[in-house]
Amino acid sequence: MDRRKFLKGSALLTGLFTLNPADLLANGLKEVSNPKKKAKNIIFMISDGMSSGTLAMANLYSQNILSKNGNWMNLYHENKVSRALMDTASASSVVTDSAAASSSFGGGFRVKNGVLNIGANGEKYVPIWQKFKKAGKKAGCVTTVTITHATPAGFCVNSDSRNAENEIAEMYAEIGFDVMMGGGDEFFNPSKREDKKDVYGLYRQKGYQIFTNKGDLKKAEKGKKILGVFNSGALPYSIDRTHIPELQNTPSLAEMAQTAIDQMKDHPEGFVLQVEGGKVDWAAHANDIAALIHDQLAFDEAVKTVMDFAEKDQNTLVIITTDHGNANPGTIYGPDATKNFNSISNYKYTNEYILNAIHPDFNLQKMKDWIYETSKISLADEEAKYLLSFYSGLEKQEAGLYNYKKLPFKAYSEIQKKHNSVGWISMDHSGDYVETAVYGPGKELLPAFIKNTDLHYLMLKAAHI
């Protein structure tokens, strides 16, 4: 890529775009010639907060319990992808948050944690989905958290704060993205917004179809843009959706990805799509092994959906990665490690659901019965008393990201560890190098070790933009 031509073209998109040479094309990607075959479409898949242990345990569960290898792992076994380790740091820390991480992919520059494509001196880096929209492609995002959350937003908008989700909801409509699906009704619904603004109405005025449940996916009209908002807050965890009937009207990540692909695949200029398994990150924050494994497996089903299309299409670049690690979970050595790990197949619900159902009026036996009913774990009396103490105020309530109800996630995961041989280093992000796999036109551009910003330029180069 001619760097001067690239920067000149980028400057046309924003008067505030500035160069940070130290962050640009860290591995010399600009010196690599354009791939012989141009990528017409790009699908960028992110299992948010996926440490390497998460990938390993989900695949182990798939092998041991489901009797099959995972789809992501099969891409390695069948040598279908280029593979790299990726450095995930942000401009402000060796440990990134999702906003800075997505901005690295989306804007091509490392920014401080908490902001979206805004440089240290106020520079506005053009988000990559806007670049592709300007080039004539359709663009969209699907996620299992709020569609206005940091990871989709990092590919789409500039904002001083990742928390400005009300404003981000409006930005999407103004820019005109073609398919946006996830949770976050509170950012669109006038009855839930403090300013009472009807953001759904704004989308309808612009010709969008508004989807609110899984059944709506089958009603998609070709040629019309889609806004799908299927829940207040994030979508349910996969394991809870499986076992709780009232949650089954929300779509899976694979179903949203399939609808998005079908909606955009016939566009003459092609499309770009981000697919995020956002609740993998939330499960890691909660040290919730059932939530973690089953949402990673749901992401893996989306990998199959995407790869089925890409292998047939042969014009689609697929990038599969994560934005950062979280909590570094892993299996622990011991004589019963395999048996203990396999016992996770007895878990019917997330820890969030289990712990949220406990009340201060539970007695010791009721607590023990409830834990056995939901996970086949036989609590000792002392363990049951310890858990109950969090509900009677004897133990200090736990804090933590996405733990709005102060549930004792850490306490319960420590009890589970004795039974399932899974440990965690923390309840927060980690700075580990992470897996990246690339398939399709442009996969030869991937070096063995990259910075997160490199994927921005790899996408542009693969698409000859």
Give all domains of the chain, ordered by start, each with its CATH number. Answer: 3-328+433-462 (3.40.720.10), 353-423 (no CATH)
pLDDT at 24 over 50: no
Q: Which residue has the higher pLDDT, 305 or 16?
A: 305
Q: Which residues are annotated as a binding site for Zn(2+)?
A: 48, 281, 285, 323-324, 429
Q: Which residues are annotated as a binding site?
A: 48, 149, 151, 276, 281, 285, 323-324, 429
Residue 370 amino acid letter: W
How far, rounded to the nearest angstrom, does the alpha carbon of residue 235 sit from its chain's CA centroid?
12
Q: Return the pLDDT at 396.
A: 79
* pLDDT tens, position by position, 196-227: 999 999 999 999 999 999 999 999 999 899 99
Distance CA 156, CA 182 (A): 15
- pLDDT interval class at 32 (50, 70, 90): low
Mean pLDDT in residue range 353-375? 97
Helix (H) / strand (E) containing 44: strand 41-47
Using DSSP's 3-state secondary structure scheme, residue 88 falls into coil
Distance CA 445, CA 29 (A): 7
Distant-in-sequence, close-in-space partners of 93: CB < 8 Å, separation ≥ 6: 113, 431
Q: Return the pLDDT at 27.
A: 46
- pLDDT interval class at 33 (50, 70, 90): low
Q: Please name the residue that has the structure tokens 């053009």.
A: 126
Mean pLDDT, the chain, integer: 93
Q: Return the pLDDT at 243.
A: 97
CA dist 261 → 141, 277, 304 (Å): 10, 16, 13
Helix (H) / strand (E) containing 171: helix 165-175
* pLDDT tens, position by position, 165-193: 999 999 999 999 999 999 999 999 999 99
Using DSSP's 3-state secondary structure scheme, residue 302 falls into helix
pTM of the predicted protein model: 0.93
Please give the span between the terminal C-alpha atoms of the chain, in angstroms, as a whole number: 9
pLDDT at 1 over 60: no
Q: Which residues are annotated as a binding site for Mg(2+)?
A: 48, 149, 151, 276
Q: What percent of the chain has pLDDT over 90?
A: 89
pLDDT at 8 over 90: no
pLDDT at 12 over 70: no
**Cβ(285)–Cβ(401) below 8 Å:** yes
* pLDDT tens, position by position, 108-152: 999 999 999 999 999 999 999 999 999 999 999 999 999 999 999
* pLDDT tens, position by position, 58-110: 999 999 999 999 999 999 999 999 999 999 999 999 999 999 999 999 999 99
Distance CA 38, CA 108 (A): 20
Helices (H), 23-164: 52-64, 71-77, 98-107, 128-134, 150-154
* pLDDT tens, position by position, 228-267: 999 999 999 999 999 999 999 999 999 999 999 999 999 9
Q: Return the pLDDT at 29.
A: 59
Phi, psi of 174 (to 5 degrees): -65, -40
pLDDT at 30 over 90: no
pLDDT at 22 over 70: no
* pLDDT tens, position by position, 392-429: 887 778 888 888 889 999 999 999 999 999 999 999 99
**Cβ(180)–Cβ(226) below 8 Å:** yes
Q: Return the pLDDT at 18.
A: 35
The catalytic residue positions are: 98
Q: Return the pLDDT at 402.
A: 86
Distant-in-sequence, close-in-space partners of 131: CB < 8 Å, separation ≥ 6: 10, 13, 460, 465
